[in-house]
A = this chain, B = another copy of it.
């Protein structure tokens, strides 16, 4: 039986998008608001925002944990924690190769989140 994950599983952005109308189209139901708030909480943190932008800035499209610590001045356990939160939220994908893990943006995930907040295309 698999061990229970250390982090409370967050609903990935794509599931959130599938479940919910954009914020400005109709009044969010309580459960939809809970789901969207969990994803937003994952990025409402300066270190995680910088990690996301650092991953996005990589020419290769992915960032090794070994590089993240130096660039952001954070310890390995702290970086690992932040990466886990971003993966659980469905924003980053993790690929373990050898002793290091590599992280890449989940295609479309940030755009999906942005789409929930944007009023463009709304009737207003």
Residues of A within 8 A of B (CB): 23-28, 30, 33-34, 36-37, 40-41, 43-47, 49-50, 52-54, 56-57, 61, 71, 105, 110-111, 113-115, 117-120, 122, 124
A124 CB, nearest partner CB in chain B, Å: 7
B119 touches A117 (CB 8 A): no
Residue ID in chain B nearest A109 by CB atoms: B119
B54 touches A30 (CB 8 A): no
Q: Give CA–CA (A37, B105) in the complex, Å.
A: 19
Which residues of chain B are near A52, meaning CB under 8 Å?
Answer: 23-24
B113 touches A23 (CB 8 A): no
* A33-B46, A37-B49, A44-B44 known; A124 vs B27 contact (CB < 8 Å): no
